[in-house]
Structure 1
Amino acid sequence: MDTILFSDTVGGIMVERIKREASFNMVSKHFHNEYEIYYLVSGERFYFIEKQTYDVKKGSLVIIDRNQIHKTVGTNTTHHDRILMLITEEALEPIFQLYDNIDMRSFFTKNSGVIELNEAGQHYVEELLFGIIREMKEKHTSYEFVTKAKLAELLIFATRCKNGENATLKSETIQTEKYKKINEIAEYITQNYQYNISLADISEDFYISKCYLSRIFKEITGFTVNEYINIIRIKKAQQLLENTDYSITQIAGLVGYDSITYFEKVFKKYTEISPLKYRKKLMKLKQIG
């Protein structure tokens, strides 16, 4: 049974707290343009990020960069209580400008991953998160400003955690044979996305049946093998669109597509915008910045 304790969106910041008493596996394919902060109030979850799976326990803070692949699934612990924040680039811009001297713009890129907080760290983070929820609930004068101020404080705290204050950065991943195999395959796809690789090729290279590979890959990552290949390619294409002057046709070839028409179709499927419009949008944002 799911209990939605809170859900609201203010100025590009969505906050949701849900308590679940039964086993739950995220079914939606998580790959989005918002930044994400996830805090586990209680319980335990397996959390797949990019190409690794982590055992996330109570009091863990998870930082997800824009367009990072991620998914949570249940463990033997059936219940969990979590707070989720999705934050747009526009919502963070005032924070980026205010704290520009400490390089907040690269915060999510540098700090993505799982942070295990000690008791003092958990208390501090929960005070901030519950304070944000309270501000969004009560909507007193300047509540949006206070919400963003508390978010900025949370980001600074997480930056300090990187230096070992009140926390441990979780580096070890789940090492059962099934999870190790999927981590290896995800790494293989990440390194070879530009080539013509298929489910059959991977199945043969890793000595695993196509049926079993398809089932466990979808179970752990939330994606089919082909979807994962396409997403890795599109993520690389986004980087090339932003950082190079290559034409759309050249980029399509560099990330593994023989057909520019198919490349544009897949790109739009995952980003809801064409490659050309994506590049123009980036150029416009750079001009504004």
Structure 2
Amino acid sequence: MQDPDRHAACAPQGGATTRDALLAALDALLDPARFQDYGPNGLQVEGRRQVRRLVSGVSASLALIEAAIAAGADAILVHHGLFWRGQRGTVTGWIKPRLQRLLVHDVNLYAYHLPLDAHAELGNNAQLGHRLGFVPPQGGWGRFGEQQLGFWGDCDATDAAQLAARAEATLGRAVICIPGDGRPIRRVAWCSGGAQGYFEAAIAAGADAFLTGEISEPQAHLARECGVAFLACGHHATERYGAPAVGAHVAGLLGIEHHFIDIDNPA
């Protein structure tokens, strides 16, 4: 899956800020204290104090870390960080080389999970909605679901098949589409990533179609029985837009360089 923004510089070159100033700018923008999340939001790994170049990406994989180091990053901003609820708390297996590379190269790692999904303008859901041509109702995107993470807006697709074709063209990957009852799609609801559990809340919010990253077995039955279309468009594919949007924004505020690096993922 290719993207014209891949490796693109998005901020003025030559400036510098500090690790703490970057954290303060991200926290002020994303307000992580509002959310009950699955892991820590903010600075997950402390690196050098001065930051000149910020790299953003979806997940703190070893491939992204290596690419960011090669690009001269002082800091990395991701949606999926290294630490999650339920981990054993040991630095063994897959986590060791990731941490080792960050620490050896003195690179800061910032991670924001639900706050990066929820931001009304720069978050994954808002950016995804704009990319797919959805239109916010007067007053801004509609919101639904737990912690108001789900979004809804207006759509002009003739049916679920047309919406799926649009999503495939925009996201560059195949879409699983359960078409519902074939109705026109006038109100579309969506929540990026693994939000298939929001489908019932989307139906209650009056959606004609619900779009997310993944599908589990029950959603196919619900779509057929309730008539509301369900589209699974890829976890990674639906969460590629928030981190670069936020990264470019804070880099512009602080006068540092920003680059987005997309590590493709078929999931």
Smaller-chain TM-score range? under 0.3
Higher helix share: 1
Higher CA-based Rg? 1
| TM-score normalized with structure 1 length | 0.25
TM-score by length of 2: 0.26
